[in-house]
Amino acid sequence: MKSAGGPAPDIGFSMPMMKEWVPRRIQPWLYVLTALCFQFSGGIFLGAMDSIRGTTGFMIEDILFLLYATLAGMAVYFPMLFRMKFRFTNRQLLCGSAIIIAVCNVLTLHCQSMPVLIAVCFIAGMAKIQGTFECMSNIQLWITPRRDFAVFFPVLHIILLTAIEGSGWLAAWFAHHFTWQMMHVFTIGTMSFVLFTQAVFCRPFCPMPQRLSLKGIDFQGALLICGLMLTVSYIVVYGDHFIWFDTLRMRVLLGVAIVLFGIVLYRGRYYRYPYIELSLFTRRNVVPILIVTFFAELAFGAEHTMEEILYSEVLRLEELTKESQYMWVLPGMYFGILFDLYWLKVKKWKVWKLFGIAFISIALYGMLMYFTLDIDVNIEQYRFAIFLRGFAYAILAPTLMWALDESVPSLEQFFMGLSVFNIFHMYLAGAAGYGIYTAIFSHFMNDNMIRYGQQFTLTQLNMACLNFGEYIGHDFLHSMMMVTMKQVYGYVIWFALVLASIFLMCDIPAVRTNIRKVPRWPVYAIEYLARKKSTYL
């Protein structure tokens, strides 16, 4: 790579893995396009959920679990990225990732076995993050010649967030006009494009003349972490379906999760080179960052659960219409990323108030949904609420990643930190949010059905003028769902406002500087008595 000072303007940014005849102006853009190809790939696509359920017989929980298997593969692979980049050439990494993703998508087309699909989605997630990292690490100095992560992480999230929303819409578009399998065919085509560009425009290049060995990597620890993640996600995704711990299966899996967690902690404490070092959690601000990440994803869980119930169960929107509605999150995300760049790079302000602004946006999103929810409301009225949640997400995700980089100076530990961060960010908290919100929704829904159902008596109803079966099956049920969603959004509003208040208070200089100086009560009492004694003397 070039030096941190950057190339001269008349020469342009140069990439050593590109062949000499490739114009330097298009070299980084070729890798941006390749990164988008990897980010648009995956093992399963939620945008075509209804079509997949209709042809395979899978439940919603099955498809969500396959999605979390993909996310688990992405999250657990981060500590390997550093070693793989310095062990193999860029062509080996990108071509290998493209071939693996293409094979996984072929298997997804022709297989309906859940165990096989779980393994396929997990491996596809690892290949997806490997290809994305290899592309973005090679153009990092093009994005920010000084390696300023206050710039790099927001720009990185432009690609990530565009692909997250765009892949869902594209999958729904293919399912609407063709079949859901066409999205996987499209993914195979994009991976073929990656292989073509690597063969034509690139040459083998490794930044390390002395290749790093893969010996000493704690693969057993990585497998244990994978098992723990899949077990926990199974519990929270299928919990409401199996009535949580009233079933033997859930109780057994809870015991398995506890045992795996204990083994992971033991290996982290006593193994010489663990996959994730426990000393990572002693670094400055790492634990607070993970706590904020968990709470933020927990708040965003309302979007994943409540909006899906609203659009799918109440309004009965077709998948393409629903995904088109979700696309309004992109303007909010882009505005949030620009706000991030202004805050972190231009002004270099502290992040406490920035976190507070993000949680205020989540609270405003909940308020708009609370006051707008109605069976007769036009879906366009929900767009500003979707914009706000996109704005909040785009503030939190890059800022938390930047804060993690500031807290972990070691490069190898930083990748371990990214693994733990993403376990909380895009995996554990998201799955837990789905499980928690479905449980809360089910509880309030059953309670409301009982409470309001008691009001119906034969003396209050004119059976000659009322189609009781149709009323109970449609109007009454949908009204109860609306009431229940408002109750859940009410909790989200209070939750977000409390967190916003905490972060805004932390930004007050007196609180930020003096709250830790308050002595213990016995010390305070001794000082108080000493002051009183000196006054009398």
pLDDT at residue 523, as a whole number: 57
* Domain termination residue (choose one: 162, 182, 212): 212
Parent domain of 48:
1-212
- CA distance linking residue 390 with residue 162, whole number of Å: 11
pLDDT at residue 475, as a whole number: 63
Residue 526 falls inside a structural domain:
no
Residues facing residue 370 across a β-bridge: none
For residues 357 and 292, membership in a common domain is answered with yes
Please determine, for residue 52, whether its predicted confidence score (pLDDT) is greater than 60: yes
Residues facing residue 202 across a β-bridge: 18
Residue 328 falls inside a structural domain:
yes
For residues 295 and 435, membership in a common domain is answered with yes
Pick from 228-242, 329-343, 347-361 the range whose average pLDDT is largest: 329-343
For residues 36 and 185, membership in a common domain is answered with yes
DSSP 332-364: HHHHHHHHHHIIIIII---HHHHHHHHHHHHHH
- pLDDT by residue (tens digit) across 142-163? 888 888 888 888 888 899 889 8
- pLDDT by residue (tens digit) across 330-341? 999 999 999 988
Residue 527 falls inside a structural domain:
no
Residue with tokens 């000393």: 279
Taking residues 277-303, what's their average pLDDT?
83
- CA distance linking residue 108 with residue 181, whole number of Å: 9
Q: Which tokens go with 116?
A: 């096989």
Contact 350, 337 (CB under 8 A): no
Please determine, for residue 454, whether its predicted confidence score (pLDDT) is greater than 70: no
Show Cβ contacts of residue 83 under 8 Å, excluding neighbours closer than 6 positions.
212, 214, 217
pLDDT at residue 518, as a whole number: 45
- pLDDT by residue (tens digit) across 498-512? 999 888 887 666 555
For residues 486 and 359, membership in a common domain is answered with yes
For residues 137 and 78, membership in a common domain is answered with yes
- pLDDT by residue (tens digit) across 179-204? 888 889 999 999 999 999 999 888 88
For residues 298 and 226, membership in a common domain is answered with no
Report the number of distinct structural domains present in the chain: 3
Please determine, for residue 4, whether its predicted confidence score (pLDDT) is greater than 60: no
101: confidence class by pLDDT, cuts 50, 70, 90: very high
Show Cβ contacts of residue 193 under 8 Å, excluding neighbours closer than 6 positions.
37
For residues 310 and 248, membership in a common domain is answered with no
Residue 517 falls inside a structural domain:
no
Helix, strand, coil fractions of the chain, as percent rounded to 5: 75, 0, 25
Residue 519 falls inside a structural domain:
no
For residues 114 and 175, membership in a common domain is answered with yes
For residues 322 and 470, membership in a common domain is answered with yes
Q: How far is CA 495 from the centre of its chain?
A: 19
Q: What is the CA radius of gyration of the chain?
A: 26
Please determine, for residue 168, whether its predicted confidence score (pLDDT) is greater than 70: yes
- CA distance linking residue 269 with residue 263, whole number of Å: 10
CATH number at residue 428: 1.20.1250.20
Residues facing residue 18 across a β-bridge: 202
pLDDT at residue 3, as a whole number: 40
- CA distance linking residue 49 with residue 46, whole number of Å: 5
pLDDT at residue 337, as a whole number: 92
For residues 108 and 234, membership in a common domain is answered with no
Residue 520 falls inside a structural domain:
no
- CA distance linking residue 247 with residue 356, whole number of Å: 41
For residues 449 and 338, membership in a common domain is answered with yes
* Domain termination residue (choose one: 212, 238, 256): 212
Provide the mean pLDDT of the chain.
81
- CA distance linking residue 400 with residue 296, whole number of Å: 10
pTM above 0.75, yes or no: yes
For residues 243 and 314, membership in a common domain is answered with no
Show Cβ contacts of residue 457 under 8 Å, excluding neighbours closer than 6 positions.
none
* Domain termination residue (choose one: 193, 212, 231): 212
Taking residues 307-318, what's their average pLDDT?
80
Residue 521 falls inside a structural domain:
no
Please determine, for residue 232, whether its predicted confidence score (pLDDT) is greater than 60: yes
Q: What is the DSSP letter of 202?
A: B
